Amino acid sequence: MELFNLSGKRALVVGGGGDLGFAMMEGLLEAGASAVAVDIDPNVSSLTDLLSKKGFKASSLQVDITDRSAIKKSVADAEKLLNGSIDILVNSAGIQRRRPSEDYLEKDWDDVISINLTATFFYCQLVAKNMILNGYGKIINVASIMSFFGGVTIPAYAASKGGVAQLTKALSNDWASKGICVNAIAPGYIDTRLNTALINDDERSTEVLLRTPMKRWGIPNDMKGVAIFLSSPASDFISGAVLPIDGGYSAR
């Protein structure tokens, strides 16, 4: 089990107040890490308080990640809370805006790209500076199966997640020789608040289940194991990978 032991490791989970981010952060804590959650949702503090009451070393920062100066400050603040530099970065913040492509709003495009892709790059860049100095780091970006498919009425989301997949590969090429493993997970159809409208659409939900060999929607806890794996010594020779976590959907 030492291969999966994260004792003494310090993690920053961007989007830690979201369903997937919270589950991954809880997994990292359960494996022995300490963690700081970053989220714009003020409820992130109550979530990390619950984890702290369970005996985990968890804290939070409320941050608007569309503000690049706020991103920079949050990295510095997280390092103070963790009493040292960051060993593990999880980029899990994401939003969705649905509208037919011909009617897609400029603001929706800008918001989705800013949060899903641009913030991911700047967190990677800022955290990697100390990881390079330390000769060690694990970065997990959250892509999507829409990194591979086009989707319907989600041009900005598909573009942003395609960008996250390619960004992950580019950063791996630059940093793997410096001790940093940069990987992405590509969740499929997961029962989260982000997918509420889709889940409530009987026709689309049925289509999803028919295509998914496991015949169920994923749940946030399905992300725990892969987050621990990609943060641990068990994955030390894995970098530049984009791993589908989709119940077999993308293989169908």
| Residues forming the active site | 157
Rounded-to-integer distance, Cα 94 and Cα 72, Å:
18
Residue 89 is classified by DSSP as E
Q: What is the CA radius of gyration of the chain?
A: 17
Q: What is the token pair recorded at 199?
A: 């889940």
Positive/negative CA dihedral, 245, 88, 221, 161: negative
| 22, 69, 126, 248 from 199: Cα distances, Å | 20, 36, 36, 18
9's torsion region: left (phi>0), alpha (psi -120 to 50) or beta? Answer: beta
